[in-house]
Amino acid sequence: MRFRLSLAAVVAAVSALLFSATGLAADPSPHPIGDEDLNATSKRFEETAPQNTARTIRHWVGQTTNPVNGATYTYSIVGANPNSEEGSATIGVDIVPLNLTIAGTSFDGSASVAGVLASPLFKEGDYSTTAAASTSTGAKGAGGSLSAGNNDVQLLDAEMRSQFNEVGTAYHLVLKRPEVHAPITIAVPAAVGTTLTSPGGVTIGDVDVTWLQPQVEALTAQLRYLKPNRLAIFLTKDVLAYADHNPTHCCVLGAHGSIDTTSAAQGEEQDGRQRVQTFVWSSWLTAGFYNPRNRWARQDIHGLSHELSEWANDPFGTNAVQPWFSPAAPQYGCNNLLETGDPVLGIGFSQGTNTFDQNPYSDGTYHPEDEAFLPWFMRSSPNTTSEPAQGSANGRYTFMGALNPFAFFHQPPPGC
Protein backbone atom coordinates (compact mmCIF):
# COMPACT_ATOMS: atom_id res chain seq x y z
CA MET A 1 0.00 0.00 0.00
CA ARG A 2 1.23 3.48 -0.84
CA PHE A 3 0.46 6.54 1.24
CA ARG A 4 0.50 10.10 -0.04
CA LEU A 5 0.19 13.02 2.38
CA SER A 6 1.21 16.61 1.85
CA LEU A 7 3.90 18.00 4.12
CA ALA A 8 1.35 20.43 5.56
CA ALA A 9 -0.99 17.59 6.47
CA VAL A 10 1.85 15.65 8.03
CA VAL A 11 2.96 18.58 10.18
CA ALA A 12 -0.62 19.26 11.23
CA ALA A 13 -1.05 15.65 12.27
CA VAL A 14 2.09 15.58 14.37
CA SER A 15 1.29 18.91 15.98
CA ALA A 16 -2.07 17.58 17.06
CA LEU A 17 -0.95 14.16 18.28
CA LEU A 18 2.72 13.69 18.79
CA PHE A 19 3.59 15.35 22.06
CA SER A 20 0.15 15.77 23.60
CA ALA A 21 -0.85 14.10 26.86
CA THR A 22 -3.20 11.34 25.86
CA GLY A 23 -5.55 9.14 27.84
CA LEU A 24 -4.55 5.47 27.93
CA ALA A 25 -6.70 2.50 27.06
CA ALA A 26 -9.27 1.51 29.65
CA ASP A 27 -7.89 -2.04 29.66
CA PRO A 28 -4.09 -1.74 29.60
CA SER A 29 -3.45 -5.48 29.91
CA PRO A 30 -1.83 -7.10 26.88
CA HIS A 31 -4.11 -9.05 24.56
CA PRO A 32 -2.93 -12.57 23.71
CA ILE A 33 -2.42 -13.36 20.03
CA GLY A 34 -1.74 -16.70 18.40
CA ASP A 35 0.97 -17.59 15.92
CA GLU A 36 -1.58 -18.05 13.15
CA ASP A 37 -2.67 -14.43 13.48
CA LEU A 38 0.79 -12.92 12.90
CA ASN A 39 1.03 -12.20 9.19
CA ALA A 40 4.09 -10.01 8.82
CA THR A 41 4.44 -7.43 6.09
CA SER A 42 6.16 -4.11 5.38
CA LYS A 43 5.06 -0.75 4.03
CA ARG A 44 6.24 2.09 1.86
CA PHE A 45 5.56 5.52 3.22
CA GLU A 46 5.63 8.75 1.20
CA GLU A 47 7.67 8.54 -2.01
CA THR A 48 9.25 11.52 -3.76
CA ALA A 49 11.10 11.58 -7.06
CA PRO A 50 14.06 13.97 -6.78
CA GLN A 51 14.77 16.60 -9.39
CA ASN A 52 18.15 16.45 -11.13
CA THR A 53 19.50 19.24 -8.94
CA ALA A 54 17.97 18.03 -5.67
CA ARG A 55 19.88 17.78 -2.43
CA THR A 56 19.43 14.15 -1.46
CA ILE A 57 21.19 10.86 -0.80
CA ARG A 58 24.04 9.90 -3.12
CA HIS A 59 22.67 7.58 -5.79
CA TRP A 60 23.06 6.43 -9.36
CA VAL A 61 20.54 5.68 -12.10
CA GLY A 62 20.64 2.48 -14.12
CA GLN A 63 18.59 0.65 -16.73
CA THR A 64 17.94 -3.03 -17.44
CA THR A 65 15.91 -4.59 -20.23
CA ASN A 66 13.70 -7.43 -19.09
CA PRO A 67 14.01 -10.27 -21.66
CA VAL A 68 10.56 -11.63 -20.83
CA ASN A 69 8.45 -8.57 -21.69
CA GLY A 70 11.05 -6.55 -23.60
CA ALA A 71 10.54 -3.52 -21.34
CA THR A 72 13.46 -1.40 -20.18
CA TYR A 73 13.24 -0.41 -16.53
CA THR A 74 15.01 2.57 -15.00
CA TYR A 75 15.91 2.57 -11.33
CA SER A 76 17.75 4.62 -8.69
CA ILE A 77 20.15 2.86 -6.29
CA VAL A 78 22.07 4.34 -3.37
CA GLY A 79 25.83 4.78 -3.54
CA ALA A 80 28.36 4.60 -6.37
CA ASN A 81 27.67 2.97 -9.72
CA PRO A 82 29.36 -0.46 -9.65
CA ASN A 83 29.82 -0.26 -13.40
CA SER A 84 31.93 2.87 -13.16
CA GLU A 85 35.21 3.80 -11.54
CA GLU A 86 33.50 5.72 -8.73
CA GLY A 87 34.43 2.97 -6.25
CA SER A 88 33.28 3.30 -2.68
CA ALA A 89 30.47 5.41 -1.26
CA THR A 90 30.00 6.18 2.43
CA ILE A 91 26.58 7.32 3.65
CA GLY A 92 26.05 9.22 6.89
CA VAL A 93 23.34 7.94 9.22
CA ASP A 94 21.24 9.53 11.95
CA ILE A 95 19.43 7.31 14.46
CA VAL A 96 16.44 8.83 16.21
CA PRO A 97 15.13 6.54 18.97
CA LEU A 98 11.38 6.72 19.55
CA ASN A 99 10.18 5.93 23.07
CA LEU A 100 6.48 5.10 22.84
CA THR A 101 3.91 4.63 25.59
CA ILE A 102 1.18 2.31 24.35
CA ALA A 103 -1.77 1.26 26.52
CA GLY A 104 0.18 2.03 29.68
CA THR A 105 3.34 0.15 28.63
CA SER A 106 6.63 1.80 27.69
CA PHE A 107 8.48 0.64 24.59
CA ASP A 108 11.83 2.43 24.51
CA GLY A 109 13.64 2.53 21.21
CA SER A 110 16.65 3.94 23.04
CA ALA A 111 17.05 0.53 24.74
CA SER A 112 17.79 -1.08 21.36
CA VAL A 113 20.43 1.38 20.13
CA ALA A 114 23.43 -0.49 21.55
CA GLY A 115 22.32 -3.77 19.99
CA VAL A 116 21.81 -2.16 16.60
CA LEU A 117 25.19 -0.38 16.66
CA ALA A 118 26.94 -3.67 17.51
CA SER A 119 25.03 -5.56 14.82
CA PRO A 120 26.13 -6.52 11.29
CA LEU A 121 24.31 -3.41 10.06
CA PHE A 122 27.24 -1.28 11.26
CA LYS A 123 29.97 -3.74 12.28
CA GLU A 124 32.16 -5.47 9.74
CA GLY A 125 31.95 -9.25 9.50
CA ASP A 126 32.75 -12.33 7.44
CA TYR A 127 29.96 -13.51 5.12
CA SER A 128 31.83 -16.42 3.60
CA THR A 129 29.76 -18.84 5.69
CA THR A 130 26.83 -18.81 8.09
CA ALA A 131 26.13 -21.07 11.04
CA ALA A 132 22.39 -21.39 10.42
CA ALA A 133 19.69 -20.49 7.91
CA SER A 134 15.91 -20.70 7.59
CA THR A 135 14.34 -23.96 6.46
CA SER A 136 11.32 -24.16 4.16
CA THR A 137 9.12 -24.37 7.27
CA GLY A 138 10.68 -21.24 8.77
CA ALA A 139 12.60 -23.11 11.45
CA LYS A 140 16.31 -22.88 12.21
CA GLY A 141 18.29 -25.09 9.86
CA ALA A 142 21.84 -25.86 8.88
CA GLY A 143 24.09 -23.13 7.53
CA GLY A 144 26.95 -23.44 5.09
CA SER A 145 28.73 -21.48 2.38
CA LEU A 146 27.15 -18.04 1.96
CA SER A 147 29.16 -15.47 -0.04
CA ALA A 148 32.73 -16.61 -0.58
CA GLY A 149 35.32 -13.90 -0.07
CA ASN A 150 32.83 -11.36 1.26
CA ASN A 151 34.57 -10.51 4.51
CA ASP A 152 35.48 -7.45 6.62
CA VAL A 153 32.34 -5.68 5.38
CA GLN A 154 28.98 -4.58 6.73
CA LEU A 155 25.81 -6.50 5.91
CA LEU A 156 24.44 -4.04 3.33
CA ASP A 157 27.87 -3.74 1.71
CA ALA A 158 28.10 -7.54 1.45
CA GLU A 159 24.67 -7.70 -0.17
CA MET A 160 25.40 -4.98 -2.70
CA ARG A 161 28.82 -6.41 -3.59
CA SER A 162 27.21 -9.80 -4.12
CA GLN A 163 24.31 -8.36 -6.11
CA PHE A 164 26.69 -6.77 -8.64
CA ASN A 165 29.39 -9.47 -8.48
CA GLU A 166 31.86 -7.00 -6.98
CA VAL A 167 33.14 -9.18 -4.12
CA GLY A 168 36.87 -8.51 -3.74
CA THR A 169 36.82 -5.23 -5.69
CA ALA A 170 37.00 -1.58 -4.60
CA TYR A 171 33.21 -1.23 -4.83
CA HIS A 172 31.55 -0.62 -1.45
CA LEU A 173 28.41 0.88 0.04
CA VAL A 174 29.34 1.76 3.61
CA LEU A 175 27.08 3.09 6.35
CA LYS A 176 29.06 5.48 8.52
CA ARG A 177 28.80 4.89 12.26
CA PRO A 178 25.54 6.65 13.12
CA GLU A 179 25.07 9.81 15.07
CA VAL A 180 22.55 8.87 17.77
CA HIS A 181 20.22 11.66 18.82
CA ALA A 182 18.20 12.18 21.98
CA PRO A 183 15.10 9.96 22.07
CA ILE A 184 11.70 11.40 21.30
CA THR A 185 8.90 10.40 23.65
CA ILE A 186 5.44 9.81 22.21
CA ALA A 187 2.19 8.96 24.00
CA VAL A 188 0.16 6.89 21.54
CA PRO A 189 -3.59 7.70 21.68
CA ALA A 190 -5.75 4.91 23.06
CA ALA A 191 -7.79 4.76 19.86
CA VAL A 192 -4.78 3.80 17.73
CA GLY A 193 -2.61 1.64 19.97
CA THR A 194 -2.81 -1.54 22.01
CA THR A 195 -0.48 -4.32 23.13
CA LEU A 196 -0.27 -7.94 22.03
CA THR A 197 1.33 -10.85 23.86
CA SER A 198 2.51 -13.96 22.04
CA PRO A 199 2.24 -17.52 23.33
CA GLY A 200 5.94 -17.15 24.14
CA GLY A 201 5.11 -14.38 26.59
CA VAL A 202 6.68 -11.49 24.67
CA THR A 203 4.60 -8.30 24.54
CA ILE A 204 4.76 -5.81 21.68
CA GLY A 205 3.13 -2.45 21.03
CA ASP A 206 0.61 -2.59 18.19
CA VAL A 207 -0.05 0.78 16.51
CA ASP A 208 -2.33 1.77 13.63
CA VAL A 209 -0.04 2.29 10.65
CA THR A 210 -2.20 5.16 9.35
CA TRP A 211 -1.46 7.01 12.61
CA LEU A 212 2.20 6.05 12.76
CA GLN A 213 3.04 7.11 9.22
CA PRO A 214 2.37 10.86 9.60
CA GLN A 215 4.23 10.89 12.92
CA VAL A 216 7.39 9.53 11.30
CA GLU A 217 7.07 11.72 8.23
CA ALA A 218 6.49 14.83 10.31
CA LEU A 219 9.61 14.14 12.35
CA THR A 220 11.53 13.68 9.11
CA ALA A 221 10.51 17.20 8.10
CA GLN A 222 10.72 18.87 11.52
CA LEU A 223 14.02 17.63 12.95
CA ARG A 224 16.41 20.28 11.67
CA TYR A 225 19.53 18.22 12.35
CA LEU A 226 18.52 15.73 9.64
CA LYS A 227 20.25 16.34 6.30
CA PRO A 228 19.09 15.04 2.92
CA ASN A 229 22.50 13.57 2.05
CA ARG A 230 22.23 11.31 5.14
CA LEU A 231 19.86 8.46 6.00
CA ALA A 232 17.46 8.96 8.92
CA ILE A 233 16.57 5.83 10.93
CA PHE A 234 13.65 6.02 13.36
CA LEU A 235 14.24 3.18 15.77
CA THR A 236 11.65 1.58 18.01
CA LYS A 237 11.76 -1.55 20.16
CA ASP A 238 9.04 -4.19 20.01
CA VAL A 239 6.65 -1.79 18.26
CA LEU A 240 4.87 -3.05 15.16
CA ALA A 241 1.94 -1.65 13.22
CA TYR A 242 -1.44 -2.92 12.12
CA ALA A 243 -3.44 -2.29 8.96
CA ASP A 244 -7.12 -1.68 8.15
CA HIS A 245 -7.64 -0.03 11.57
CA ASN A 246 -7.78 -3.55 13.00
CA PRO A 247 -5.21 -4.49 15.71
CA THR A 248 -5.44 -8.16 14.72
CA HIS A 249 -4.29 -7.34 11.17
CA CYS A 250 -0.71 -7.47 12.38
CA CYS A 251 2.10 -6.91 11.78
CA VAL A 252 3.95 -4.28 9.75
CA LEU A 253 7.64 -4.77 10.61
CA GLY A 254 8.91 -1.51 9.15
CA ALA A 255 8.77 1.01 6.34
CA HIS A 256 11.00 3.22 4.25
CA GLY A 257 10.23 6.39 2.33
CA SER A 258 11.33 9.75 1.04
CA ILE A 259 9.80 13.15 1.61
CA ASP A 260 10.29 16.61 0.15
CA THR A 261 11.56 18.81 3.00
CA THR A 262 12.41 21.87 0.89
CA SER A 263 10.27 24.19 3.00
CA ALA A 264 12.02 22.99 6.17
CA ALA A 265 15.51 24.03 4.98
CA GLN A 266 17.48 26.54 7.01
CA GLY A 267 20.09 29.20 6.34
CA GLU A 268 22.43 28.51 3.49
CA GLU A 269 20.27 25.61 2.32
CA GLN A 270 17.54 28.02 1.18
CA ASP A 271 19.00 28.08 -2.31
CA GLY A 272 15.91 27.05 -4.27
CA ARG A 273 17.05 23.47 -4.67
CA GLN A 274 14.69 20.66 -3.80
CA ARG A 275 15.56 18.65 -0.65
CA VAL A 276 14.50 15.01 -0.56
CA GLN A 277 15.11 13.25 2.76
CA THR A 278 15.16 9.44 2.76
CA PHE A 279 14.25 7.57 5.94
CA VAL A 280 13.55 4.19 7.51
CA TRP A 281 11.41 3.14 10.46
CA SER A 282 11.74 -0.29 12.05
CA SER A 283 11.92 -2.04 15.41
CA TRP A 284 14.34 -4.24 17.25
CA LEU A 285 12.33 -7.42 17.83
CA THR A 286 12.67 -9.42 21.04
CA ALA A 287 13.04 -13.13 20.31
CA GLY A 288 9.93 -15.13 21.14
CA PHE A 289 7.22 -12.82 19.87
CA TYR A 290 7.35 -14.78 16.64
CA ASN A 291 7.41 -18.53 17.24
CA PRO A 292 11.02 -19.69 16.61
CA ARG A 293 9.73 -23.08 15.43
CA ASN A 294 8.24 -21.57 12.28
CA ARG A 295 9.49 -17.96 12.21
CA TRP A 296 12.98 -18.35 13.63
CA ALA A 297 14.59 -15.45 11.75
CA ARG A 298 12.06 -12.80 12.82
CA GLN A 299 13.99 -11.34 15.71
CA ASP A 300 16.48 -8.56 16.58
CA ILE A 301 17.55 -6.75 13.33
CA HIS A 302 15.49 -8.82 10.89
CA GLY A 303 12.98 -6.07 10.07
CA LEU A 304 15.59 -3.31 10.02
CA SER A 305 17.86 -5.27 7.67
CA HIS A 306 14.85 -5.68 5.35
CA GLU A 307 14.16 -1.94 5.28
CA LEU A 308 17.79 -0.90 4.84
CA SER A 309 18.17 -3.15 1.81
CA GLU A 310 14.97 -1.78 0.30
CA TRP A 311 16.10 1.79 0.98
CA ALA A 312 19.43 1.11 -0.76
CA ASN A 313 17.79 -0.46 -3.80
CA ASP A 314 14.83 1.94 -4.05
CA PRO A 315 15.62 5.06 -2.01
CA PHE A 316 12.79 7.21 -3.38
CA GLY A 317 10.09 4.56 -3.80
CA THR A 318 10.02 5.11 -7.56
CA ASN A 319 11.52 1.88 -8.91
CA ALA A 320 8.93 -0.22 -10.77
CA VAL A 321 9.44 -3.68 -12.31
CA GLN A 322 7.44 -6.35 -14.10
CA PRO A 323 4.82 -7.60 -11.58
CA TRP A 324 5.91 -10.54 -9.46
CA PHE A 325 4.26 -12.91 -7.00
CA SER A 326 5.99 -14.79 -4.18
CA PRO A 327 4.51 -17.95 -2.63
CA ALA A 328 6.73 -17.25 0.38
CA ALA A 329 4.94 -13.91 0.92
CA PRO A 330 1.48 -14.13 -0.69
CA GLN A 331 0.26 -11.14 1.35
CA TYR A 332 1.89 -8.84 -1.24
CA GLY A 333 -0.23 -10.20 -4.08
CA CYS A 334 0.83 -9.31 -7.62
CA ASN A 335 3.38 -6.58 -7.00
CA ASN A 336 5.31 -4.30 -9.37
CA LEU A 337 7.68 -2.72 -6.83
CA LEU A 338 11.42 -3.27 -6.59
CA GLU A 339 11.21 -4.16 -2.90
CA THR A 340 14.10 -6.51 -2.22
CA GLY A 341 12.87 -7.77 1.14
CA ASP A 342 9.20 -8.40 0.37
CA PRO A 343 9.45 -11.59 -1.73
CA VAL A 344 11.71 -13.30 0.84
CA LEU A 345 10.05 -11.93 3.98
CA GLY A 346 10.96 -14.03 7.02
CA ILE A 347 13.78 -15.99 5.35
CA GLY A 348 17.09 -15.33 7.08
CA PHE A 349 20.43 -16.53 8.39
CA SER A 350 22.74 -16.22 11.40
CA GLN A 351 25.48 -13.61 11.52
CA GLY A 352 27.86 -12.38 14.20
CA THR A 353 27.56 -12.56 17.97
CA ASN A 354 24.57 -11.01 19.69
CA THR A 355 24.80 -10.44 23.44
CA PHE A 356 21.86 -8.05 23.63
CA ASP A 357 18.30 -8.75 24.74
CA GLN A 358 18.92 -12.48 25.06
CA ASN A 359 16.25 -14.80 26.46
CA PRO A 360 15.34 -18.51 26.25
CA TYR A 361 14.31 -18.05 22.58
CA SER A 362 17.60 -16.43 21.49
CA ASP A 363 20.62 -18.21 20.03
CA GLY A 364 23.37 -15.63 20.53
CA THR A 365 23.49 -14.44 16.92
CA TYR A 366 21.87 -11.75 14.77
CA HIS A 367 19.26 -12.70 12.19
CA PRO A 368 19.42 -10.63 8.98
CA GLU A 369 16.87 -11.27 6.26
CA ASP A 370 17.72 -12.68 2.84
CA GLU A 371 17.22 -10.16 0.02
CA ALA A 372 16.10 -10.60 -3.59
CA PHE A 373 18.52 -9.22 -6.16
CA LEU A 374 17.94 -6.97 -9.17
CA PRO A 375 18.31 -9.84 -11.70
CA TRP A 376 15.42 -11.69 -10.01
CA PHE A 377 13.10 -8.74 -10.58
CA MET A 378 14.43 -8.23 -14.12
CA ARG A 379 14.01 -11.94 -15.04
CA SER A 380 17.65 -12.12 -16.11
CA SER A 381 18.58 -15.60 -17.33
CA PRO A 382 21.34 -16.47 -17.38
CA ASN A 383 22.24 -14.11 -14.58
CA THR A 384 25.60 -12.55 -15.38
CA THR A 385 25.10 -9.60 -13.03
CA SER A 386 25.38 -11.15 -9.56
CA GLU A 387 27.89 -13.27 -7.69
CA PRO A 388 27.60 -16.91 -8.79
CA ALA A 389 25.44 -19.07 -6.56
CA GLN A 390 27.20 -21.67 -4.42
CA GLY A 391 28.32 -24.53 -6.65
CA SER A 392 27.05 -22.86 -9.83
CA ALA A 393 28.37 -20.74 -12.67
CA ASN A 394 25.09 -18.81 -12.84
CA GLY A 395 24.56 -15.68 -10.76
CA ARG A 396 22.43 -15.93 -7.63
CA TYR A 397 19.00 -14.36 -7.38
CA THR A 398 19.05 -13.67 -3.63
CA PHE A 399 21.91 -12.98 -1.23
CA MET A 400 21.59 -16.44 0.35
CA GLY A 401 21.75 -18.08 -3.06
CA ALA A 402 21.54 -21.86 -2.75
CA LEU A 403 20.96 -21.51 1.02
CA ASN A 404 17.54 -20.00 0.35
CA PRO A 405 15.32 -23.04 1.01
CA PHE A 406 12.91 -22.36 -1.87
CA ALA A 407 13.81 -23.38 -5.43
CA PHE A 408 11.47 -20.56 -6.48
CA PHE A 409 14.30 -18.11 -5.61
CA HIS A 410 16.98 -20.00 -7.53
CA GLN A 411 15.57 -18.71 -10.81
CA PRO A 412 13.60 -15.70 -12.09
CA PRO A 413 9.94 -15.58 -11.06
CA PRO A 414 7.06 -16.28 -13.43
CA GLY A 415 4.68 -13.48 -14.36
CA CYS A 416 1.46 -12.83 -12.51
Q: What is the pLDDT of residues 221-265, one digit of tens each?
A: 999 999 999 999 999 999 999 999 999 888 899 999 999 998 765
Spatial contact of 370 and 138, defined as CB atoms under 8 Å apart: no
Please give, one letter per residue, the 3-state secondary structure of the chain: CCCCCCHHHHHHHHHHHCCCCCCCCCCCCCEECCHHHEEEEEEECCCCCCCCCCECCCEEEEEEECCCCCCEEEEEEECCCCCCCCCEEEEEEEEEEEEEEECCEEEEHHHHHHHHHCCCCCCCEECCEEEEEECCCCCEEEEEECCCCCEEECHHHHHHHHHCCCCCCCCEEEECCCEECCCEEEECCHHHEEEEECCCCCEEEEEEHHHHHHHHHHHHHHCCCCCCCEEEEEEEECEEEECCCCCCCEEEEEEEEEEECHHHCCHHHCCCCCEEEEEEEEEEECCCCCCCCCCCCCCECHHHHHHHHHHHHCCCCCCEEEEECCCCCHHHCCEEECCCCCCCCCCEECECCCCCCCCCCCCCCECCECCECHHHHCCCCCCCCCCECCCCCCECCECCHHHCCCHHHHCCCCCC
Asked whether the CA dihedral 238, 11, 317, 154 is positive or negative, the reply is negative
Peptide bond into 343 cis (omega under 30): no
In a domain, 63, yes or no: yes
- The mean-pLDDT minimum among 18-32, 124-138, 390-404 falls in 18-32
pLDDT at 28 over 70: no
Length of the chain: 416
Name the nearest CA neighbour of 361 among 274, 300, 276.
300
The predicted pLDDT at position 48 comes to 72
Does residue 9 carry a pLDDT above 80?
no
29 domain-assigned: yes
- Assess whether pLDDT exceeds 90 at residue 165: yes
Residue 2 in any domain: the answer is: no
Is residue 113's pLDDT more than 90?
Answer: yes
Number of structural domains in the chain: 1
Q: Is the pLDDT of residue 45 over 60?
A: yes
Q: According to the model, what pLDDT value does residue 267 have?
A: 53
Q: Is 403 a residue whose pLDDT tops 70?
A: yes
Is residue 318 in some structural domain? yes
Residue 416 falls inside a structural domain: no
Cβ-based neighbours of 141, under 8 Å, separated by 6 or more: 132, 133, 134, 135, 405
User: Which of the residue ranges 47-56, 174-183, 239-248, 395-404 would you say has the lowest mean pLDDT?
Assistant: 47-56
pLDDT at 24 over 60: no
User: What is the pLDDT at residue 1?
Assistant: 36
CA 111 – CA 378 distance, rounded (Å): 40
Q: What is the domain range of residue 143?
A: 7-410
Residue 1 within any structural domain of the chain:
no
CA atoms of 371 and 38, how far apart (whole Å):
21
Assess if residue 90 is contained within a domain: yes
Residue 58 scores a pLDDT above 90:
yes
Q: Which pLDDT band holds residue 35 (cuts at 50, 70, 90)?
A: very low
Report the DSSP beta bridge partners of residue 172: 88
141-154 average pLDDT score: 98
Q: What is the pLDDT of residue 53?
A: 81
Q: Domain for residue 200, yes or no?
A: yes
Going by pLDDT thresholds of 50, 70 and 90, the confidence category of residue 18 is very low
Q: What is the pLDDT of residue 44?
A: 53
Q: What are phi and psi of 197, to 5 degrees?
A: -120, 130
How high is the pLDDT of residue 200?
A: 87
Residues 205 and 239: beta-carbon distance below 8 Å: yes
Tens-digit pLDDT profile for residues 193-228: 999 999 889 999 999 999 999 999 999 999 999 999
Tell me the pLDDT of the chain averaged across its residues: 88
Distance CA 60, CA 81 (A): 6
- 108 and 97 Cβ atoms separated by less than 8 Å: yes
Q: What percent of the chain has pLDDT over 90?
A: 80
* pLDDT digits 0-9 by tens, 288-341: 999 999 999 999 999 999 999 999 999 999 999 999 999 999 988 999 999 999
Instruction: Give me the phi and psi of 11, to 5 degrees please.
Output: -65, -40
Q: Answer yes or no: is pLDDT of 364 > 60.
A: yes
